[in-house]
Amino acid sequence: MDLCGCISGRNRDKVARSGRTPSAAVRVSSPGIEGFPVNTECAIRTSVDLGSHTYYFGQIMAVRCDPSVLDASGAICVETLAPLTAFGAASPRH
């Protein structure tokens, strides 16, 4: 997560550098990551140059989930997924 979030992919192949395998996307041209339980495909809608970096605003175009992380209703089960987050552990649903 740190590698892909901290370096630009403009001139480097972050997927190869991370040792992961790309998977074909359904709705966008950039790949997903094989073996990840959730892949979210986004399209850039606008960007803002902030000087030191660019902030992108996008639209979710598709979400692909491994059935093992879904509950009986087809929603992502946070407890099963156990996601890594930048802002603390995921809260259980009530």
Domain assignments of the chain as residue spans, ordered by start:
2-81
pLDDT, residue 10, reads 80
Q: Which of 29-38, 40-49, 60-69 has the lowest average pLDDT?
A: 29-38
Structure tokens at 20: 């992961």
pLDDT tens per residue, range 48-59: 999 998 899 999
How do the residues of the chain divide into helix, strand and coil, expressed in percent and rounded to 5?
Answer: 20, 30, 50
pTM above 0.85, yes or no: no
- Residue 94, pLDDT > 50, answer no
CATH 3.10.180.10 correct for 2-81: no
